Structure 1
Amino acid sequence: MKMKIRHTKRFKEIIHAFLRNGLSRFLLRLGLISRNASKHEPTDMNMQEIGAKLRQALQELGPTFIKLGQIASSRRDLVPPMIAFELEKLLDHVTPVPFEQIREIAETELEGPLEKIFSEFTEEPLATASIGQVHAATLHSGEQVAVKVQRPDIRPTMEMDLAILSDLASFLEERTDWAKTYRLREMIVEFSRSLHNELDYRVEGRNCERIAKQFEKQPTVVIPRVHWNFTTGKVLTMDKIEGIKANDLEKLDEGGYDRKIIARKIFDSMLHQILDEGVFHGDPHPGNILILPENVVAYLDFGMVGRLDNKLKEQFAPFIIHMRNRNTEGMVELFLEMGFISEETDLRALRRDMDDLQNKYYDVSLDEVSLGTIFIELFQVAYRHQILIPTEIAVLGKSILTLEGVISKLDPSLNMMMAVEPFGKKLMWKRYNPKKIIENSWVEIVGSVGFLSRLPRELKAITTTIRKGKLHLDVNAQQLKMYLGKLDQTSNRLSFSIILLSLSILLAGLFIGSAIAGRTSILWQFPVIEAGFILFLLMFLFLIYFIGRSGRK
Structure 2
Amino acid sequence: MLQNRFRHTKRYREIMNAFLKNGFSHILFRLGITDRTSSKKDGAVMNMQDIGVKLRLTLQELGPTFIKLGQIASSRRDLVPFEIADELEKLQDHVAPFPFEQVKEIIETELEMPIDSLFTEFEKEPIATASIGQVHAARLSSGEKVAVKVQRPNIYHVVNKDLTILSDLARFLEDNMDWAEAYRLQDMVDEFARSLRDELDYRVEARSGERIAKQFEGVPTVHIPSIFWDLSTSKVLTTELIHGVKVNDLERLDAEGYDRERIAERIVHSMLDQILMAGFFHGDPHPGNIFVLPNNVISYLDFGMVGRLDDDMKYHFATLIIQLRKGNTENMIKTLDAMGILSDDTDMMTFKKDVDHLQSKYYDVPFEEIKPGAFFLDLFRIAYRHRIQIPTEITILGKSILTLEGFITKLAPGFSIMSAVEPFGKKLIMERYSPKNVLRKSLLHWKENIEILTDFPKDLKELSTLIRKGNLQMNIHIPQVQMILRRLDQVSNRLSFSIILLSFSILMVGLIVGASISGETNMLWRLPIIEAGSIIASLLFLYLIYSIFKSGRM
Q: Same fold (TM over 0.5)?
A: yes
Q: Tell me the CA shift for residue 463 of structure 1.
A: 12
Partner SS for 2:92:
coil
Cα distance in 1 for partners of 2:234, 2:342 equals 39
1:260-279 counterparts in 2 under 5 A? Answer: 260-279=261-280
How many residue pairs are counted as aligned between the two chains?
A: 477
C-alpha distance in structure 1 between counterparts of 2:405 and 2:233, whole Å: 34
| 1:406 matched residue in structure 2 | 407
1:476, distance to aligned residue in structure 2 (A)? 4.1
**Where in structure 2 are the equivalents of 1:90-239 lying within 5 Å?**
90-239=91-240
| Partner residue in 1 for 2:257 | 256
Q: Which residue of 1 aligns with 2:365?
A: 364
For the residues of structure 1 that align with 2:479 and 2:333, how far apart are their CA atoms? 17
The alpha-carbon distance between structure 1 residues 256 and 454, as it changes in their structure 2 partners (threshold 3 A), is same
Secondary structure of the equivalent of 2:313?
A: helix
- TM superposition shift of 1:181: 1.4
Q: What CA distance in whole angstroms lies between the structure 2 residues aligned with 1:311 and 1:7? A: 43
What residue identity is the alignment partner of 2:360? N
- Which residue identity does 1:474 align to in structure 2? H
In structure 2, the CA distance between the partners of 1:247 and 1:164, relative to structure 1 (3 Å rule), is same
Q: What does residue range 246-395 of structure 1 map to in structure 2 within 5 Å?
A: 246-395=247-396
Q: Partners of 2:133 and 2:349 in 1: how far apart?
A: 49
Q: Which residue is equivalent to 2:506?
A: none
Report the counterpart of residue 477 of structure 2 in structure 1: 474
Q: Distance between the aligned counterparts of 1:378 and 1:75, measured in 2?
A: 12
Letter in 2 for 1:379: F
What letter is aligned with 2:199? E
Larger Rg: 2
- Structure-2 separation of matches of 1:247 and 1:76: 25
SS in 2 for 1:474: coil
Residue 433 of structure 2 aligns with which residue? 432
Q: Is the 8 A contact 2:147 2:238 kept in 1?
A: yes
User: 2:522 corresponds to which residue?
Assistant: none
Distance in 2 (alpha carbons) for counterparts of 1:374 and 1:73: 17
Distance 2:404 2:212 in 1: 17
Find the aligned partners of 2:229 and 2:292 in 1 and give their Cα distance.
Answer: 25
Measured in 2, the distance between the counterparts of 1:472 and 1:2 equals: 34
User: In 1, Cα distance between the equivalents of 2:69 and 2:340?
Assistant: 25
Q: Deviations over 1:87-108 (max 9, x none)?
A: 0000000011011111111111
Paired residue type of 2:325: R
- In the TM superposition, residue 472 of structure 1 has moved relative to its aligned partner by 5.3
Q: Describe the superposition over 1:315-366 as per-residue Cα deviations: whole angstroms up to 9, x where unpaired.
A: 2221111111122211221222222222211111111111111122222221
SS in 2 for 1:361: helix
* Contact map agreement 2:466 2:472 (CA 8 A) in 1: no
Counterpart CA distance in 1 for 2:452 and 2:239 is 51
Find the aligned partners of 1:461 and 1:437 in 2 and give their Cα distance: 38
The whole-number CA distance in structure 1 between the counterparts of 2:142 and 2:472 is 77
Q: CA 1:353 to 1:137, structure 2 compared with 1: closer, same or farther past 3 Å?
A: same
- Quick check: 1:44 aligned with 2:45? yes
- The SS at the match of 2:134 is strand
TM-score under structure 2 length normalisation: 0.82
The 3-state SS of whatever aligns with 1:266 is helix
**Equivalent in the alignment of 1:80:** 81
CA distance in 1, matches of 2:462, 2:377: 46
How many Å separate the matches in 1 of 2:467 and 2:359?
A: 50
C-alpha distance after superposition, 1:261-314 (max 9, x if no partner) = 000000000011111111111100000000111111111111111111122112
Q: 1:225 Cα deviation (Å)?
A: 0.6
Change (3 A) 1:461 1:341: farther
- Using a 3 Å threshold, how does the CA distance of structure 1 residues 36 and 325 change in structure 2: closer, same or farther? farther
Deviation at 1:459, TM superposition (A): 12
- Mean CA deviation greater in 282-291 or 325-334: 325-334
Q: Extract unaligned runs of 5+ from structure 2.
A: 481-554
Change beyond 3 A, Cα 1:463–1:103: closer
State the Cα RMSD in Å.
2.3
SS of residue in 1 equivalent to 2:363? coil
Contact 2:137 2:146 in 1 (8 A): yes
Paired AA for residue 87 in structure 1: L
Evaluate the alpha carbon distance shift between residue 325 and residue 2 of structure 1 in structure 2; reply closer, same or farther with a 3 A threshold: closer
Distance 1:349 1:476, change over 3 A: farther
Report 1:499-514 matches (<5 A): none
Please give the alpha-carbon distance, in whole angstroms, between the structure 2 residues aligned to 1:217 and 1:419. Answer: 22
* Alpha carbons 2:26, 2:43 under 8 Å: kept: no
Shift of 1:139: 0.6
Alpha-carbon spacing, 1:34–1:139, altered in 2? closer, same or farther (3 Å): same
Percentage identity across aligned positions? 57
- Check 1:180–1:299 CA distance in 2 against 1; reply closer, same or farther (3 A cut): same
**Distance across 1 between alignment mates of 2:85 and 2:120:** 45
Task: Quote the offset at 1:253 in angstroms.
Answer: 0.5
Aligned partners of 2:316 and 2:338 also within 8 Å? no
For structure 1, the residue ranges without an aligned partner over 5 or more in a row are 478-553
| Paired letter, 1:28 | F
Q: Secondary structure at the match of 1:133?
A: strand
